[in-house]
Amino acid sequence: MRIFGLFILIITLALPAHAKGGFRFASIDGGKIALDDWRGQPVLVANTASLCAFTPQYEDLQALYDRYKDRGLVVLAVASDDFGQELDSNSEVKNFCDANFDLDFPMTEITHVRGPRAHPFYKWLASEHGFTPAWNFNKVLLNADGEVVGTWGSMAKPTSRAITREIEPLLPR
């Protein structure tokens, strides 16, 4: 029995962090958002900010979500002030997004996406995949197993063919 337990421990330690219980974010609506809740579904994660020139991409994120949500796509907006372009509080961010974009996909509280205080998900992206957001509205696509399929910078619109051609094969027909 001891050998079996040791074997399980070794296997568990060898798994990537996201496979060992997943990453959790604080939801802007209260409670937690667990990436593992979407295991089996592709997830597009975008770091966002309310006062950025790319903020209109919220419309594209919502359009993408509307287009593919019935086939399983999840869009997650990670509000961040790491580039100094987010509102001062979570309630201001939520009110801004509700009033201007009527978003219905999940969104996190204001979260660090780079540097020593970065959320563990973003630390994992940096260390395991060499990806750190260079600005707001950088996007990361995870497949149904939580593995990174693609990353894009701010200039890539969420509805662009570069992104949708990576999403479509991940969705059931």
User: Crossing angle of helices 90-101/57-68, nearest 10°?
Assistant: 70
Question: Is 45 within 8 Å of 76 (Cβ atoms)?
Answer: yes
Going by C-beta distance under 8 Å and a sequence separation of 6 or more, which residues neighbour residue 38? Answer: 74
Instruction: Report the alpha-carbon distance of residue 156 to residue 150 in Å, rounded.
Output: 12
- Provide the strand spans (E) within the chain: 24-26, 32-34, 43-48, 74-79, 139-142, 148-152
Name the nearest CA neighbour of 74 among 99, 93, 53, 46.
46
SS3 74: strand
Concerning whether 97 is annotated as a catalytic residue, the answer is no
Residues making up the chain, counted from first to last: 173
Which of 19, 26, 52, 126 is flagged as catalytic?
Answer: 52
Residues with a catalytic annotation lie at 52
